[in-house]
A and B are shown apart, each in its own frame.
Chain A
């Protein structure tokens, strides 16, 4: 899932400074799971905004709602249309994709982000997340025992470790395990060490921005 964190209040308050009617729009997808922008966090942020304005003696109306998935147009539309003309600005609590999806669907509506999207990651424990996937578009996890060297190796090396690792730790940080050492041990545990002897990898790196088209799923014009 995508991992995000709320922006500092100072930055959020500055962005919404000129507006009185604010729709705080959460997302029930990834950001709910990582406790950054779900219905609960929408309530927290709305309360903080109201409390800040009350201190300053300024009026504010906060509307609170959450889309099922803010990156899906059909999930955004009913929520925003339900409250049409009741707000001046949408303060999105979704990831960057969610913010852009709203902006694209409602081009005349100003949408502001209240989260910083950090990475695609996994939960190590409740409250701790680590980066797991760089969405490189050419997955090699099948050869690396489910450990991604593109993400977890500081140099994204594809064919084994560099010379910088020491005692199983990466040279960029003593807290970061060497991904390739982990891959070696995992393959050894799985009796798959011969995977390391496969031909060197040449990777088909993607061109950004990416675009995926599935003709079988696209709308068809009835003739």
Chain B
């Protein structure tokens, strides 16, 4: 368990957090290699089933990284994503999976630092929780 390296799926908005990830790279900011970025045109495109599929396919954690509130390119996409994330968390609780494995973050395209910080925060949190219950039984 000490060597546990979680796999974390990130649904990243083209207009903000994806650009922030790019900036983090340009600034040579280190962040854990545990995250796998899935670029989406807007976090409003991320559906409940997308997040569930990520978990079923073996992710130990998932987070959706959208624009700062009030700055969504499509006006309300990040607000919708936030509600869907909460819905997925409730679904996971119903089948006894820690809801904390799914999170929503907001950041701007200029926040390369924040992108790295969030990646570290989420990786640490998931490491503490251990492997997803779905991955435990298969191993």
Which A residues form the contact surface with B (CB < 8 A)? Answer: 8-10, 13, 40, 43-44, 47-48, 50-52, 54-57
Contact = CB atoms under 8 A, between A and B. Distances in A.
Interface of B: 47-49, 52-53, 55-56, 91, 94-97, 133-134, 137-138
Nearest to B52: A47
Nearest to A57: B137
A47 B53 contact: yes
Nearest to B96: A55
B137 A54 contact: yes
B94 A51 contact: no
Nearest to A40: B49
Contacts of B49: 40, 43-44, 47
13 contacts: A8-B94, A9-B91, A44-B48, A44-B52, A47-B52, A47-B53, A48-B95, A51-B134, A52-B96, A54-B56, A54-B134, A54-B138, A55-B134
B71 to A, nearest CB: 23
Nearest to B48: A44
A50 B134 CA distance: 10
Contacts of A48: 52, 91, 94-95
Indicate the member of A8, A44, A51 with the most B CB atoms within 10 Å.
A51
